[in-house]
Amino acid sequence: MSKNPIRLPPLPRLRVRNPNKREQNPCLTIMSSVLACWASAGHTGRACNTVEDALRACMDAPKLPPKPSNTINYHLQRLSSRLIKQASKNK
């Protein structure tokens, strides 16, 4: 049996999928709790006041600064021509 390496077909683009995942909104769980409370007790009742206050506090809190975006796709695209040239030279 020969032990030749398996050759993969050339890729037209180098790409990393979803490098920038969005973070979930921290107020989303509290908001779903408010909606569930309103569905069970009605939106005019006093039973949901504590959950509503927690939602207001969460919404009024200062937002965190956004994280710098990941530039991996930009750099892969920029360097792909060099990588393809090197791969063709090595054949």
Q: Report pLDDT digits (tens) over 12-53.
A: 666 666 656 666 788 999 999 999 999 988 877 788 899 999
**What's the CA dihedral at 61, 21, 73, 83 to 10 degrees?**
140
Size (the chain), residues: 91
Given phi > 0 = left and psi -120 to 50 = alpha, else beta, which region is 54? alpha
CA distance 36 to 23: 23
Q: Over the stretch 53-75, which tens digit does the pLDDT of each residue have?
A: 999 999 999 887 877 776 777 77
State pTM to two decimals. 0.49
